[in-house]
Structure 1
Amino acid sequence: MEPNNNVRTEKKQLKTVDYFKRDGYAAYVLTVTVSVLCFLNSLCGDFVHDDIFAIRKNGDVSQRTSLLSVFSHDFWGTPMSYPTSHKSYRPLTILSFRLNHYLSEFNPVSYHIVNVLLHAAVTGLFTHICLSVICLSVQGAIIAGLLFAVHPIHTEAVSGLVGRADVLSGMFFLLSFLTYAWSANTRLLPGNTLRFSVSRPGLFVGSLLFAVLSMLCKEPGITVLGLNLLYDVVVVNRQVIDRLFLHKRYNTEAAPLLKRLCWIGFTLFVCMGFRLWMMGGELPPFMEQDNPASFSSSFLTRFLTYNYLACFNLKLLLAPITLSYDWTMDSIPLVEGLADTRNILTVSMYLGILFVGCAVSKRREGPIAVGLLFLCVPFVPASNLLFRVGFVVAERLLYIPSMGQCLLVAYGYMSLWRRFPRLQWLMVTMILLTIGSFGSRTLVRNNVWQSRETLFRSGLESVPRNAKVHYNYANYLKDEGYTELAIKFSKKAIELYPSYAVAWNNLGTLMTEATEAERCYTQALRYQPDHIAALINLGSLHFQQGSTQKGLSMLRRAEALDPHDAQMCIMLGSMLAHLGQSSEAGQYFRKAIQEKPDFADAYNNYGSYLQQTGRYQEAIENYRHAFLLDTSHVDAMTNAAQSLRHLGRLAEAESLLKRAVELRQSAVTLDQLGKFYLTTGQVKDALAIYRGIEEKLLNRSDITGLKNYAKVLVETKNLNEADGVLHRVLQVEPEDVTALHQMSNVQGLLQQHTQGLTYIERAIKVATVQGDKHVLSELLFAKASHLKDLKKYEEALLAYLDSLSINNNQPKAHVNAGAIYHMKHELKLAKHHYMETLKLEPSNHIARENLEKLEKLAKKKRVPQPG
C-alpha cells in the first residue's frame, strides 16, 4: 500500500531508535561539546559595532523603558512608528538581552555565554534532526553536526552579540521543522522510504507557534513555514502530489495535505500582515551604498549581480576564507555585462543545483531534498527576490542556510563511503581536515570580534575597497582621540565613495577650520539633503559664526524632517538658550528627554542649561541621571563637579572628577581636575597635573587644556612658560579671543604693555565681529589698563568709557576712569565715577580715599583767602 496521511501503518512496521543511547548519545555529546569549545575564546569579547546601539544604548535592554514598549519598538529601541525607525522587529531577542541585563547589567561575558550556549543548543537540535527525522547514520549525523558546530561563517552570529537574533531564530526554526515532522510522526528511513502515522494536531499547532517565535527573533525565521510546506509536498507526500498534478487524479488521500497547506498559508498571511502593519505599511528606506545593485537602472546588471551574489554566498559557505563584518558598497563590484567572467561561477552554481535536483527527482533522495530546502528557502529574504534589502552580503544570515550545506556534505560523504570502501581512509582524512580547518578558522575569526579596533582593522584587510569599513575605523580613531588618523581614514572613505554623505559629515566634525567643516557639511547635504546630523552640525556651525538665523533655519529643517530627533532638540534648545529664549529652550531640552528617556546626552545637556541659569541642584540631578544611564559618561561627571563647586560642595566635586579620571585617563579629564584645583586655590596641585600632561596637550594641540595650563602658569608666576604655551595656542587658533586676552595679560605682567596692547586690539576685532558684548567690555577694560600703564591717559579714558557704555556695572573701570578725571582736574566727573564705584562695591577703599581727597580740595576752594 502506498503511504498516505489517512492510513495508520502497523506498529510493527515502524522502526523506533532511541538516539539518546549508545552511539546516538555520543553524537549529541560530541557535537555540542565541540560547538562550545570552538567559541570559547569569544567570551572575552566586548560590545562592538552594532552591539553598542542595540544593547548598550538601548533603553529596552537596560530596563529604562517599560516591558510593553519592547513590543512597539524596533531592534534599536526606536518606536516603529517613527520615520527614522529601522523597521526591524525582534522583540524576543531584545527580551533575551533584557534578561541578560537584569542578571548582570552590561557585563559582556554573560551575553557571550548565552550566545555560545544557544549555538550549542542549535547544534544539538540540528544533530537530533539529522538522526531522528532525516535518519542519517550516526556517523553522518556527527559529521553534519560537527561541520555546523565549527563553521567559520557563524562567527558573526555567535561572537557578535547582536547575532543572537539569528541564533535564537535558528533554534525556533529547527523546533518548528522538528514538530512539523513529528506532527505526522514521519521519519526518513535509511532506505529513503517513508513511514508515518496519522497526524497529531497539537504538534502541528506547536510547529506554527515556533515559526511565529522564530520570526519574532528575526524576520527571516518566518521562512520555516515555506520550508515545512515544501518538505510536506516534496518529501512526505511526493506520491500524492504526483497523482494529484501529473496524473490528474484526486482522491481523499490529498485532503489532509491540502488542509495543512491552507493552515500554513493562513499563518503566513497573518504574520506578513502583522509585520506590514507594524512597519506602517512601508518598507524601511535604504541608501544606494547599502545595496548598490538594487539601485542600478539596468535590469541586466541587477539580474546578473543578484544571481552572482547567491553564488558568492554559496562560496562563503563552501570556502569561508575571506570573511568580513560588512560587505556593502563596492566590496563586491557589480556584474554589469555578460562578458564578466564571474558569470561562469553563477552558471556553474545553477547547473550544480539542477544536477542535484534531477538526482532527487529520479532517485527520490530525501536527505538531499531536505538539504536543498534548508540551503535555499531561508536565503530567499536576503536574495532581493521579494524586496530590496539593506545589504549586499550578510554572513550572519547564512546561519540557517549553512545547515543545508552541512547536511548535503555529510550525506554526500556517507554515499561515497558506501560506494568506495577502499578509499574510506582518504575520505576520513579529508573530512577531518575540513572540520579541523573550519575550527581553526573560527577560533582565529573569534578574535576579530574582541573589540572595535580588531573588528574594524579586520574589515580594512578583508574588503579594502569598502568605504564603510574606512569610515567605521575613522569613527573609532575619532573616539580614541587620534584626530589626524581619523581625518586620513575619513578622506579615504570619501575617495572610495565620493557621494558618501555620512563620511562627509564625519569629516566635518573633525575639521578645526570652520570653512573646511562647512564645506564638508555642505557636501554631505548635497549628496543626501535629508541628512539630519549634517543639518544639525551645519546649523550649529553657522550659529557659532554669528549667523543666528541661518543656524536656526538649518535646525528647523532638521525638525521638519524628524521632530522626534533627540539630538536636534538638544541643539535647538542650546541655540534658543543662547538667544535668551529660556522658556522655549527648556521645552526642547525636556522634549529630548521625553523622546529618548535613555539618552544620557539629553540629561547632560539639560543639566548644562540648568547650570547656566543658576539652578545648580537641578543641574546636578540631571547630570547624575546621565551617568547613571551611562556609567562611562565622563562629561556629565565633570559638569556635575562644576555645579557642586558652585554650591560649595568641594569634596563631592573632587571625588567626581577623580572618578572621571579613573574612567578616562586622558588629557581632557585631567585638565578638568587641574582646572578644579586652580579655581579652588590649590595651585600647586593644579600645576603638578598640568606638568604631567603638558606633552599630551602640546602634541594634540588641545586648545582648551593649553589655555587652562597657561592660567596655572600665570598664577604660579611662571610667566615666560605661560608666554610659550599661549604662543602655541595662537599658532593653532590665531583668532582665539580668550588666548589673545590671556597673552595680553601675560605681556602686561612682563611689563611689555605695547605688545600686550597689540594682542588686545586683535582680540577686540574678533569679539566685535562675534558680537559678544560681555567679552568686548572686558577686552576694552584690558586695553584701557595697558594704555594707562603706558601713561596714555586720554586714550585709556576713552577705552574705559567704551567699556562702561557696554557694561556700566564695573567698579574697577569706574574707579580708574574717576582717577583719570581726577588727574585732569575734572572733579565733578571724577566724583561721579567714584560714587558709582561705591554703589557697586561699597568696600572699595581706593574710591573712598580718592573721594575724600576730592572733598578736601573742595573745602580748600570754599575757604576765603586772606586779602
Structure 2
Amino acid sequence: MKKSENNNYLKFNRNLGTLQKEKVVIKDNLNIEIILKYLIPAALAFICYINGLNGDFVHDDIFAIKKNPDVHGKTELWNLLKNDFWGKSISSTTSHKSYRPLTVFTFRLNYILAGLDPFFYHVINVTLHVIVTTLFVYTCKNILGQRTRDAVLAGSLFAVHPIHTEAVSGIVGRADVLAATFFLLSFITFSKCTTSTNNKYGTLLYLSSLMCAAAAMLSKETGVTVLGVCIIYDSIRTLNSLRKEWTDKLFSNFLARLVLTIVFTVLLLSYRLWIMDGSLPTFTKADNPASYNDSISIRFYTYGFLLVLNLWMLVAPINLCYDWQHGSVPLVENVTDPRNLATFTVILLVVYLICVSLSNSIKKHNHLLLMALMLTAIPFLPASNLFFPVGFVLAERVLYIPSMGFCLLVSAGFFQLFDAMKCYRSYLTTFLMILLLMFSLKTWQQNKVWQSRKTLFKAGVEALTYNAKTHYNYGNYLKDGHEYEKARYHYLEALRLDNEYASAHNNLGTLLDDKTKAEAHFREAIRLQPSHQSAHINLGNLLFKRGLKNDGINYLYKAVEIEYRNPEALSSLGESLIEIGNFTQAEVYLQTAIEVSPDFFEAYTRYAYLLSKTNRHEESAIYYKKAYELDSSQSAALVNAAHEYKSMGFTTDAEVLLKRALTIRRDVNTLEQLAILYYTAGRTMEALAVYDDIEKLNENSTETLVRHAKVVANNGDFRKAEDMMQKALLNSPVSVEYLTTFAHLKSKLKKYEQAIEYLSKAVDLMIRSDEESDEDLDQLYVDRGNNYKDMKMFSKALLDYEAALRINPRHPTAHGNCGAIYHMNAVMQEPLGSIEKAKEHYTKALELNPDSEIIRGNIAKLGRLQYQRDTGVG
C-alpha cells in the first residue's frame, strides 16, 4: 500500500471513530434529556407536597374514611359497587350520589396495609400526583406534539399549581387525582390506537382506552369526560388527514371508533343513572344558591361569573378555601352589576381563543391550542351547572383535570413570547422562575392549612369571613374540643350570615343550657330541613328527658325513618325504649345499630345496659368489654363491666377490670367502685386504703365522702366518721340521706339529742319535698323514737313509733318497741303502762317476724306479769 493510501486509511478510521464518539455523546444527551424531561416536573410534584405527608384526617376524610364501613372491610367487597362514597346505599334518598367505588377500594387497600395511619394515605395521594404529572408531560410531548421545553414547563406548572392542594393534600381528593391518572391513560392509549397500523394491537389499545375511561368514571364522575376529549381529538386528526388524502379505510375506522365511543359513553352514563335508581342528588339552597333562584337572568349572570372565578383561581390562586358555599359568592342579580363586565371580558377572550385555535387547526394544522381549550373546558362541564345543578358554588378540587389544559395554554403562550421577544428573554425567564417559585410557596403554605381540622377550619374563617359554613365548621371543631363558648360564638355568627342554616341551628341547640331555647333551635332546623336527622334525634332526646316521653320517642322514630342505617338514631331510640320498659323493641333497634355500624361505641354501651336491666349480666359484661375494645380510652366501659361481674359474684374478675380502668384514668368513681367491692367482700382495710387515696386526690364528692364515712363508722371509728360527715354537710345541700347517716353516727356516739335534731330535720325535709330516700318516712320515725327511748323519753318515743305505724302498719320494729314501752311502763305502773296494748303489739310483731326470740321472750314475760296481776302472786 502506498504512503498516501495509508494516510487516507488512517484519516478515515479517525473520522469514523469521531463519528462513533459523537453518536455516543448524542445518545447520552438524549438519555439525559429524557430523564430531565420527566424528572424535573416529577421532582417538583413531590417536593411541593413533602410537608403535607404528616397531615391528619380532616373535613370529609372523617366520614369518607374514618367512619366508612366500606373502607374498614366491615362490609362485603361487592358492596363498594352498591354504596356511595360515604358508605351509604347509593339508592337511598339521603345519599349524596357520589359514586366512586374504585377510589373507596384504594382506601380499603390503604386500611388493610396501614390501618388508619393518615401518613400512608397521603403518600399514595402524592405518589398519584407525581404519576399524573409524568403522564401529563408524556401527553404534551408525545401525543400533542409539544417541544420538550414546552412540555416540561406545562408539567412543572401543573406540578406546583396551588389549586391542586385540596385534591392532593386532602385525602378524599384522591378521587380527583386517581380519576386524572386513568383520564390520561385513556387519552394516551386512545391516541395510540388511532395511529396504530396493526389492527389487533390497535383494537387492544382502543379497548384499553375504554376500560381506563370506565375506571376514571368509577374513580370520580367527571372522569367520563375523557371520552369527549378523545372524540374531539380523533375528529381533528382524522379530518386533517382526510383533507390531505381521502381513504375509505381511514374514514371507516374513524366512524367505527366514533360510534363505539358514543355508545360506550351512553352505556356508562346509563349505568350511572341506573345505580342511582334514576334519581339525582338533592341539595339545599345554601349548597348552590343560584340554582334555587327562579330568575333565569340571575342564574345566567351568576353562572357566568362563577366561570370567571374558576378561571381566576387558575390564573391567580391567591385566596383559597376548602368550601365556597353559604354566601361566599353573592348572586349577580342585574345586568348593571360590575361583575358582568368581567364575565363579558372572559367570554370575548374565550371566543377569540376558539377562533385562533380553529384557524391554527385548519390553516396551520396546529391543533395544540384547540386541544388545550378542550382539555380545560370538557372536564369542567359537569361542574359548570350548564347541564344540571351541582352541590357547590366553587370547588378547587374539580379544577385538577381542567388545569392541564390551562397549563398547556400558559406554556404555549410563554414560549411564543419567548421566541418572538429575543431581547427580553432574560426578563421572561426571570418572570417564569418567580412564578414557579411563588406557586410552589403557595402550595407549601396551603399544605399547612390541610394539616389538621383546626388549621383547615381556622384558615377557612380567615379566608372567607362572610361564609356561614366556615364559621359552622370551625364551631364544630371547637365544640369537639369542649371550647363551648367559642363554638357558640361561631354558630351564632353562621346564623347571622345565614339564618336559614339548619345544621347551625341544630348544633347551637346542643350547646345551650336553656332547654327551651335549645328546643326552639331544633324545631327551626326541622322546619328548614324536614329531613334533618340529627335535629330529630336531638329534639327527641330533649323532649324525652323533659318528661314528654311519647313526643320524644315519636321524633326518634321519625329520625330512624329518615335514614334507617344511622346508628345514632337507632341507639337513641333503643335507649329511650329501655327507659319506658319496652325492652323487646329496644333490643331490636340496638342490635340493628350494632349491625349497621359495628364500630359505634354508644350502641354497645346502651345494649350492655339493656342486658343488665334484663338480668343478663354475663352478656352485659361482654358487650361492655367490646365497647372498650372499640375505644380503649373509655375506662367507664370497664367499670360497668366490673359492676356486672360483681353482680354475678365474680369479685376477682371485677377487681381485675377496675384496676385496668385505673391504669387508663385514675378517677374518683372508679376508685370508689373498687373500695365498695373490697368492703362488700369483707376486705375493710383495703377499702379504707382506697378511700384514703380518693381523699388525697382532693376530688371526692359529697356522696363519696358520705360513703367513706359509713365505711369508717362500720369499722368502729365513729369519731373520724363524725368529722367526715360534718365536712360533708358543710359542703353540700342538706339531704335526707346525709342527715340520717349523720344521725346514726351521733347515736353510736350516744349523742342522742343531736341525733334527734338531725332526724327531725330529715322528717321535715321528706314531708315538705316528698324526697325519695333509702330511709322511708316510717323508718325515720322509728329511728327518732329509738333515740327518745335511749334517752328514756318514752312518751315521745311512743308518739314516733305510732306515727310510723300509721304510715306502715306492718313495721315489726315499731310494733315491738311500742309493746316494750307499754310493757315496761306496766311493770313500773306508770301511766303509759298497758298489758293489753303491749300484748297486741307483741303479737303483731311476732306475726311479722316469727323468728324473733326477743319478742317471744317479751311475750312470755308479759304473760307472767298478767298472771301476777290476775292472781295477786309475787
User: Residue 615 and residue 368 in structure 1: after superposition, are their counterparts in 2 closer, same or farther (change >3 A)?
Assistant: same
Question: 1:131 maps to what in 2?
Answer: 141
Q: Which amino acid aligns with 1:363?
A: N
User: Residue 29 and residue 243 in structure 1: after superposition, are their counterparts in 2 closer, same or farther (change >3 A)?
Assistant: closer
Does the Cα contact within 8 Å between 1:493 and 1:503 map onto a contact in 2?
Answer: yes
Give the one of 269, 291, 298 matched to 1:301.
Answer: 298
In 1, Cα distance between equivalents of 2:329 and 2:798? 75
Q: Which amino acid aligns with 2:124?
A: V
Does the Cα contact within 8 Å between 1:45 and 1:449 map onto a contact in 2?
Answer: yes
Question: 1:860 maps to what in 2?
Answer: 865
User: Residue 742 and residue 137 in structure 1: after superposition, are their counterparts in 2 closer, same or farther (change >3 A)?
Assistant: farther
Structure 2 residue 329 is the aligned partner of structure 1 residue 328: no
In 2, Cα distance between equivalents of 1:818 and 1:99? 77
1:430-460 deviation line (CA, Å, top 9, x unaligned): 1111111111111111112222212111111
In 2, Cα distance between equivalents of 1:49 and 1:579? 38
Does the Cα contact within 8 Å between 1:296 and 1:302 map onto a contact in 2?
Answer: yes
Structure 2 residue 325 is the aligned partner of structure 1 residue 315: no
Question: 2:215 maps to what in 1?
Answer: 213
Question: 1:267 maps to what in 2?
Answer: 264
1:219-240 deviation line (CA, Å, top 9, x unaligned): 111111112112222x323447
Structure 2 residue 179 is the aligned partner of structure 1 residue 169: yes
In 1, Cα distance between equivalents of 2:304 and 2:359? 27
Deviation at 1:834, TM superposition (A): 5.3
Question: 1:398 maps to what in 2?
Answer: 399
- Find the residue that maps to 1:323 and give its secondary structure: coil
User: Residue 678 and residue 67 in structure 1: after superposition, are their counterparts in 2 closer, same or farther (change >3 A)?
Assistant: same
Does the Cα contact within 8 Å between 1:593 and 1:603 map onto a contact in 2?
Answer: yes
User: Residue 674 and residue 757 in structure 1: after superposition, are their counterparts in 2 closer, same or farther (change >3 A)?
Assistant: farther
In 2, Cα distance between equivalents of 1:344 and 1:817? 100
User: Residue 533 and residue 865 in structure 1: after superposition, are their counterparts in 2 closer, same or farther (change >3 A)?
Assistant: same
**Equivalent residues in 2 for 1:217-228 (5 A)?**
217-228=219-230
Q: Which amino acid aligns with 1:169?
A: A
1:587-616 deviation line (CA, Å, top 9, x unaligned): 221122233344333223212211232323
Does the Cα contact within 8 Å between 1:474 and 1:487 map onto a contact in 2?
Answer: yes
Does the Cα contact within 8 Å between 2:737 and 2:775 map onto a contact in 1?
Answer: no
Does the Cα contact within 8 Å between 1:148 and 1:406 map onto a contact in 2?
Answer: yes
In 1, Cα distance between equivalents of 2:560 and 2:844? 50
Q: Which amino acid aligns with 1:654?
A: L
In 1, Cα distance between equivalents of 2:430 and 2:768? 80
1:549-574 deviation line (CA, Å, top 9, x unaligned): 22222223333433443322212222
Deviation at 1:532, TM superposition (A): 2.1
Deviation at 1:183, TM superposition (A): 1.2
1:394-431 deviation line (CA, Å, top 9, x unaligned): 11111111112212111111111111111111111111
**Equivalent residues in 2 for 1:114-263 (5 A)?**
114-185=124-195, 200-233=202-235, 235-239=236-240, 253-263=250-260
Deviation at 1:746, TM superposition (A): 7.8
In 1, Cα distance between equivalents of 2:466 and 2:844? 72
In 2, Cα distance between equivalents of 1:355 and 1:466? 35
In 2, Cα distance between equivalents of 1:557 and 1:221? 38
User: Residue 196 and residue 509 in structure 1: after superposition, are their counterparts in 2 closer, same or farther (change >3 A)?
Assistant: same
Structure 2 residue 511 is the aligned partner of structure 1 residue 510: yes
Structure 2 residue 68 is the aligned partner of structure 1 residue 49: no
User: Residue 726 and residue 114 in structure 1: after superposition, are their counterparts in 2 closer, same or farther (change >3 A)?
Assistant: farther
Deviation at 1:20, TM superposition (A): 8.1
Does the Cα contact within 8 Å between 1:184 and 1:196 map onto a contact in 2?
Answer: no
In 1, Cα distance between equivalents of 2:117 and 2:730? 46
Does the Cα contact within 8 Å between 2:763 and 2:777 map onto a contact in 1?
Answer: no
In 2, Cα distance between equivalents of 1:120 and 1:820? 95
In 2, Cα distance between equivalents of 1:832 and 1:97? 80
Give the one of 77, 89, 95 matched to 1:85.
Answer: 95
User: Residue 856 and residue 782 in structure 1: after superposition, are their counterparts in 2 closer, same or farther (change >3 A)?
Assistant: closer
Deviation at 1:863, TM superposition (A): 4.9
**Equivalent residues in 2 for 1:536-547 (5 A)?**
536-547=537-548
Deviation at 1:747, TM superposition (A): 7.5
Question: 1:730 maps to what in 2?
Answer: none
1:781-814 deviation line (CA, Å, top 9, x unaligned): 7876897699787997799679879xx9xxxx76
User: Residue 239 and residue 512 in structure 1: after superposition, are their counterparts in 2 closer, same or farther (change >3 A)?
Assistant: same
Deviation at 1:361, TM superposition (A): 1.5
Question: 1:764 maps to what in 2?
Answer: 770
Q: Which amino acid aligns with 1:213?
A: A
Structure 2 residue 551 is the aligned partner of structure 1 residue 550: yes
Bigger shift: residues 430-439 or 503-512: 503-512
- Find the residue that maps to 2:195 and give its secondary structure: coil
Structure 2 residue 348 is the aligned partner of structure 1 residue 338: no
Question: 2:108 maps to what in 1?
Answer: 98
Does the Cα contact within 8 Å between 1:58 and 1:598 map onto a contact in 2?
Answer: no
Deviation at 1:213, TM superposition (A): 0.3
Does the Cα contact within 8 Å between 2:763 and 2:781 map onto a contact in 1?
Answer: no
**Equivalent residues in 2 for 1:566-715 (5 A)?**
566-630=567-631, 636-646=637-647, 647-648=650-651, 649-658=653-662, 660-661=664-665, 670-680=667-677, 682=687, 685=690, 688=693, 692=697, 694=699
Deviation at 1:130, TM superposition (A): 1.6
In 2, Cα distance between equivalents of 1:424 and 1:482? 56
Does the Cα contact within 8 Å between 2:620 and 2:644 map onto a contact in 1?
Answer: yes
Q: Which amino acid aligns with 2:72?
A: S
1:748-772 deviation line (CA, Å, top 9, x unaligned): 679673665676567637xxxxxxx
Question: 1:769 maps to what in 2?
Answer: none
**Equivalent residues in 2 for 1:701-740 (5 A)?**
718-719=724-725, 722-723=728-729, 726=732
Structure possessing the higher radius of gyration over alpha carbons: 2
In 2, Cα distance between equivalents of 1:439 and 1:741? 71
Does the Cα contact within 8 Å between 2:805 and 2:814 map onto a contact in 1?
Answer: no
Deviation at 1:314, TM superposition (A): 1.4
Question: 1:6 maps to what in 2?
Answer: none
Q: How many residues are matched? A: 790
Does the Cα contact within 8 Å between 1:180 and 1:207 map onto a contact in 2?
Answer: yes
Question: 2:4 maps to what in 1?
Answer: none
Q: Which amino acid aligns with 2:143?
A: V
Q: Which amino acid aligns with 1:360?
A: S
Does the Cα contact within 8 Å between 1:818 and 1:829 map onto a contact in 2?
Answer: no
User: Residue 797 and residue 382 in structure 1: after superposition, are their counterparts in 2 closer, same or farther (change >3 A)?
Assistant: farther
Give the one of 41, 46, 57 matched to 1:36.
Answer: 46
Structure 2 residue 120 is the aligned partner of structure 1 residue 110: yes
1:276-308 deviation line (CA, Å, top 9, x unaligned): 111111112212222222112222222211121
Question: 1:354 maps to what in 2?
Answer: 351
Does the Cα contact within 8 Å between 1:780 and 1:802 map onto a contact in 2?
Answer: no
In 2, Cα distance between equivalents of 1:278 and 1:135? 39
Q: Which amino acid aligns with 2:207?
A: V
In 2, Cα distance between equivalents of 1:832 and 1:494? 74
Bigger shift: residues 460-469 or 163-172: 460-469
User: Residue 525 and residue 199 in structure 1: after superposition, are their counterparts in 2 closer, same or farther (change >3 A)?
Assistant: same
User: Residue 429 and residue 552 in structure 1: after superposition, are their counterparts in 2 closer, same or farther (change >3 A)?
Assistant: same
Deviation at 1:166, TM superposition (A): 1.2
Does the Cα contact within 8 Å between 2:636 and 2:661 map onto a contact in 1?
Answer: no
- Find the residue that maps to 1:23 and give its secondary structure: helix
1:629-679 deviation line (CA, Å, top 9, x unaligned): 455556645543443454422343225424543xxxxxxx83543443453
1:713-756 deviation line (CA, Å, top 9, x unaligned): 766854465456546xxxxxxxxxxx956666688679673665
Deviation at 1:488, TM superposition (A): 2.5
User: Residue 19 and residue 69 in structure 1: after superposition, are their counterparts in 2 closer, same or farther (change >3 A)?
Assistant: farther
Does the Cα contact within 8 Å between 2:846 and 2:855 map onto a contact in 1?
Answer: no
Question: 1:3 maps to what in 2?
Answer: none
User: Residue 783 and residue 576 in structure 1: after superposition, are their counterparts in 2 closer, same or farther (change >3 A)?
Assistant: farther
In 1, Cα distance between equivalents of 2:842 and 2:492? 64
